[in-house]
């Protein structure tokens, strides 16, 4: 299945005069290659919650896992809207990425096996999961899996500063 191609626009308000929009293919490659991401969710009382985690890019979406008792799992049960970010801590070089979407549970064992294989391929054998009963299982326990398909994404280019928005 082909991944959706977003509309791309450069926001001149936040971009250098010489900036050009970042192509989605570059952003997608960086989303796939990044090792660490930051997940922002909203607690049931409205306060924000941010935590680092691992993700894999597969079939046009980011996938992550978390224990069913973790704060982020509870937040997403009440409100699936979230933001995933990744990038660099450098001011004058690189590309930071922000993906907005809904984190939807993945419970189909066939899809979970594909996601589990992607985790192991990207992060190594320490991230090998057994799939059963609609979840990941490993020595530390059970992990729920979530899929975030981009609704809107932003790229913040540094050096020649440019803010690109992708709408899906």
CB 153 within 8 A of CB 97: yes
Mean pLDDT (whole number) for 109-138: 98
Longest dimension (CA), the chain: 53
Q: What per-residue confidence (pLDDT) applies to 2? A: 79
Give the rounded distance of the alpha carbon of 49 from its chain centre: 15
Q: Residue 55 pLDDT > 70, yes or no?
A: yes
Q: Residue 128 pLDDT > 90, yes or no?
A: yes
Nearest to 100 by CA among 36, 33, 6, 3: 6
CB 77 within 8 A of CB 105: no
Q: What per-residue confidence (pLDDT) applies to 8? A: 98
Q: pLDDT tens digit string along 3-44?
A: 889 999 999 999 999 999 999 999 999 999 999 999 999 999
Q: What per-residue confidence (pLDDT) applies to 1? A: 66
Q: What per-residue confidence (pLDDT) applies to 3? A: 87
> How far is Cα 143 from Cα 149, in angstroms, rounded to an integer?
19
Name the percent of the chain lying above pLDDT 90: 97
Structurally, what CATH architecture does the domain formed by 7-167 represent?
Roll (2.30)
Cα dihedral 154→108→48→90 (10° resolution): -40
Q: pLDDT tens digit string along 67-87?
A: 999 999 999 999 999 999 999
Q: Dihedral of CA 8/12/15/16: which sign?
A: positive
Q: What is the DSSP letter of 111?
A: H
> How far is Cα 51 from Cα 71, in angstroms, rounded to an integer?
10
Mean pLDDT (whole number) for 144-162: 97
């Amino acid at each position: 299945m082909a991944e959706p191609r977003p509309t791309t626009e450069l926001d001149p308000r936040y971009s250098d005069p010489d900036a050009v929009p970042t192509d989605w293919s570059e952003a997608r490659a960086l989303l796939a290659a990044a090792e660490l991401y930051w997940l922002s969710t909203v607690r049931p009382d409205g306060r924000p919650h941010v935590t680092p985690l691992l993700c894999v890019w597969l079939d046009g979406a980011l996938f992550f896992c978390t224990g069913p008792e973790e704060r982020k799992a509870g937040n997403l049960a009440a409100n699936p809207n979230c933001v995933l970010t990744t990038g660099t801590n450098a001011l004058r070089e690189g590309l930071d990425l922000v993906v907005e979407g809904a984190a939807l549970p993945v419970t189909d064992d066939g899809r979970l096996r594909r996601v589990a294989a992607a985790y192991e391929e990207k992060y190594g054998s320490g991230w090998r999961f057994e799939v059963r009963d609609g979840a990941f299982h490993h020595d530390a326990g059970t992990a729920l899996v979530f899929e975030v398909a981009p609704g809107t994404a932003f790229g913040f280019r540094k050096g020649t500063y440019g803010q690109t928005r992708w709408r899906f």
